[in-house]
A and B are shown apart, each in its own frame.
Chain A
């Protein structure tokens, strides 16, 4: 069974540009999460989808970030316009249960975003 995949693995952009990150969860997983780790800091929750619906987006930093999950399969996270402080590693995780449980999340390898 394929794990959670993320694309691209690395992205280097200039301040003010737009970047779109993609996450493909494990097939059949209804729950999809986005997290971000800024260098040296903790991994922070951004948002949670249940199928195509946003269950919780309390961790989204500001309105420059837009997440979508059309059709309840893969998800995209767009940053527009990117700022220097957006640099970090963006992780996606998915969970198979209808009722999300903390210990059932499978993480992707992350996308390392560098904003210059």
Chain B
């Protein structure tokens, strides 16, 4: 069964850092582009970052560029999001998502992990 499991969320102060992890199961992780998508509770969805299957190409939304870094370890079937200089507006549920090979869109989502930035 294809499964994505996020971890690492929690409460952090403004200006602080947090590292999210996503463990992938049930598919050949190294052959898929992966993405982080966030959702402010009760609000809409925002694509935060993408990483190519090899890990050599990364893309970021303007709202996080320079503060967030996406990476992956294909040997460990894991995806990461290093979040620095966190702001209150980064408070959201962060989803790990697998991008379909031919659809350029998420076709599998994790359950999400909540990040709360507050003093």
**A and B interact:** no
